[in-house]
Structure 1
């Protein structure tokens, strides 16, 4: 498969501020392909002064942009959607270059990413208020309206470098806000390509600003503390999410938050489950994107009566259909991990489990012949709570299998975590379905499916997995504030 980008203007290296492409400083940083280690290009390295300029620009632009009609904002998002569809091949190639995922997966992400633009172009006209009867006077009426917040600081990760931006940018624009985006330093090109899309779609100057930087901690803190930023939306770890909230408390502005944080998703296979269906779900949910997904299955509970059959089928499927490699190679199904820290963590978790008695059913080590960031798709048997892998988010291609005996036991063990993003289970029993769906302590449940994420879903978690919801009709509300108006004729 060719990695050649037909429209090179999509591969930008400068910051996008006030609808201009700006070489903000002499400082640059290299972005590498994690599969090959090759440098793609060097990118301008924005600092605090650049972010201050972008935030002020967004603040000034907000005064005019908030006056646009919902139909005007809907059209801008529709334009962006059309342009993403037009350039999806190039956008996917850029994504594969910097993230390492197979081109097929990158094409899937671009489609998924663009659908948030489509969805919120249709949600923009549906921001409603209410009329409430007064409890104190028949002569008074209470009205509520929703208004945009102002400048939104968007902080995004590397695992879905296109979709995690549009899932935040689209509702922000639909509601009438302006944005300053800090993409992950490992994957800035997908974000900057969206800047090209925004520019060509006709977004007014200052509405969307994108600044690459590898000063991650410093810039994150600065954006959170900036008085002109009214909302922070972040996808990443629970630890960093809490840190950002603490930093925001230093600002004179009380900020609104959307936080999509860490997960430890249970995946439960009951004894009456359709095993082939459960297997299909697990293959996608655990090993898709090489396990680097926040809603990836992290602990796989399998009823003891079907454990042997299910584990055997899982290993056979992996060994016969998976192919590790560079994302542009024909037939490759799984790519590398994103950086050295990721593969070191995965390797450490597997080693700890092996030391404490887990069985390696397939894989179990690095695939170093392919490159330093490749790890073999791995299945571990007889995993227990004594192992670190039971409690820590893996973020890699490792499936820990855990036996269970009955429903009450597995619900208790599945909920034995301080995070609650997603959970999955497979059963053909109606009573089990409704009981388990209610009792799993997570924000999103997949019953007989692992394909839960789409624009119509209110995406988000409970406990330490975050605040607010993204996508769905609820997603736009997090980018507005509610105003109550009391009218006495």
Structure 2
């Protein structure tokens, strides 16, 4: 990857203009691989958020009345601009901020361009209906109306992709957005803002306000509870999601919360093991397991457990792990900080001490900042172990065994997470029956848990995976509301 100087201050972006924070506050963004500072970033204050919400409210009046063609062309142009960032500074930015490998950079940029293009196509599908009226001389229209100002909080792990998902449908529906990026990846997430600005998105429609960790709780609570903020969406941990949901509940505000996962893959006795192994390796280890849809639990029918384990270990041996800054061809690099690696190590140590068996990996971290963990496979995991229930967000696979389909379903449903799952079987109807009984927002038959398209309504079904949907028409329903308009004929007489 060509190296780009990232040392310039990242400023706030409010009402179409860049500025420092109102009190000049900044925070340091560090390289997780080395622990070394990369650049200083402006840290927005409550006053900055108040000003941004005010300007977004003003911009809503005109943007909500803009034509479908205006919105569509803006998004299509932004997609083209964003793709060109692959030949510019995007690889260096993502590499430095989130230890993104070459393939993860490419996936982030190209899938984000796809999100922008697919979302552009939604603009003419924001449709209402005409309802027959029982009152004579009356016509009833039900329109899908934009909400107003949306507060979006997007994470660091897929910083470009998930930022686009947080803001694209709200904006295409006619809302305006206040975006709070992760403190770990402001420049990566700003790439989406930059592309939309270059494409001609009007001032005030999208405002970008990074916040330092110490200010985040107060600023976030202020924005969630602000009278002019009509909707909140958040992608991140279930711990923070519960806090945001609590604040929103105090003012009866709608949310989309896409939180954590502990995705199970059920491998039945008639499964194609080669396909299952490939899907598990991809689903568990992409981005070193730092994806909410990552495969964390593999539930194996006892009759296929031994050959599956042997094949999985062979597949993992072929995966290249290392420092992506030294070797751009590695598939897995460092986690997003040293604390994350320690958390995964603690889960593994606890499982082994409780009777689980480590099949590969040595529970040690390498690299200059101790963030590189090799893939780990731990066998004989049981529901009474912490590792069975707690999201690891790291490169590990937990193996469990079962004898009956009912037992497999009970294991799959045995956590508070409900984001996604997968089932492997040559009998599609048997797999379909199991998929319908697994509690998950999506369940993939003969495919990996890490699978989503921009048109799909991705999300959990409650609990620690959250609620609400981002994609497709489901996303349009989330970021608009039905508005009844009745047209009465003149000369009506009313009896009361």
* TM-score tier (shorter): over 0.9
What corresponds to 1:3 in structure 2? Answer: 3
Superposed displacement of residue 193, structure 1: 2.4
Per the alignment, do residues 357 and 72 of structure 1 end up closer, same or farther by CA in structure 2, a change over 3 Å counting? same
CA distance in 2, matches of 1:149, 1:431: 42
CA distance in 2, matches of 1:328, 1:176: 45
Superposed displacement of residue 304, structure 1: 0.9
SS of corresponding position for 1:233: strand
Does the aligned pair in 2 maintain the 1:225–1:249 contact within 8 Å?
no
Per the alignment, do residues 299 and 185 of structure 1 end up closer, same or farther by CA in structure 2, a change over 3 Å counting? same
CA distance in 2, matches of 1:227, 1:418: 32
What corresponds to 1:431 in structure 2? Answer: 429
CA distance in 2, matches of 1:345, 1:396: 9
Superposed displacement of residue 408, structure 1: 0.8
For structure 1, the residue ranges without an aligned partner over 5 or more in a row are none
Query: Equivalent of 1:181, from 154, 179, 182?
Result: 179
Does the aligned pair in 1 maintain the 2:154–2:166 contact within 8 Å?
no
Does the aligned pair in 2 maintain the 1:185–1:216 contact within 8 Å?
no
Query: Equivalent of 1:276, from 265, 274, 277?
Result: 274
CA distance in 1, matches of 2:324, 2:389: 31
Does the aligned pair in 1 maintain the 2:341–2:365 contact within 8 Å?
no
1:13-412 paired onto structure 2 within 5 Å: 13-24=10-21, 25-89=23-87, 90-134=89-133, 136-137=134-135, 140-214=138-212, 215-251=215-251, 254-327=252-325, 329-369=327-367, 371-412=369-410
Superposed displacement of residue 241, structure 1: 1.4
SS of corresponding position for 1:476: helix
SS of corresponding position for 1:181: strand
Superposed displacement of residue 108, structure 1: 0.5
Does the aligned pair in 1 maintain the 2:32–2:338 contact within 8 Å?
no
CA distance in 2, matches of 1:344, 1:321: 22
CA distance in 2, matches of 1:58, 1:449: 41
Superposed displacement of residue 138, structure 1: 6.5
Per the alignment, do residues 327 and 453 of structure 1 end up closer, same or farther by CA in structure 2, a change over 3 Å counting? farther
What corresponds to 1:477 in structure 2? Answer: 477
CA distance in 2, matches of 1:322, 1:283: 13
For structure 2, the residue ranges without an aligned partner over 5 or more in a row are 490-496
Superposed displacement of residue 279, structure 1: 1.0
Superposed displacement of residue 145, structure 1: 0.3
Does the aligned pair in 2 maintain the 1:12–1:193 contact within 8 Å?
no
Does the aligned pair in 1 maintain the 2:64–2:146 contact within 8 Å?
yes
What corresponds to 2:459 in structure 1? Answer: 460
Does the aligned pair in 2 maintain the 1:420–1:442 contact within 8 Å?
yes
Does the aligned pair in 2 maintain the 1:339–1:373 contact within 8 Å?
yes
Superposed displacement of residue 322, structure 1: 2.7
Deviations 1:258-305 (A, max 9, x none): 111121211111111111111111111100010011111121101111
Per the alignment, do residues 369 and 98 of structure 1 end up closer, same or farther by CA in structure 2, a change over 3 Å counting? closer
Does the aligned pair in 1 maintain the 2:389–2:416 contact within 8 Å?
no
CA distance in 1, matches of 2:430, 2:168: 38
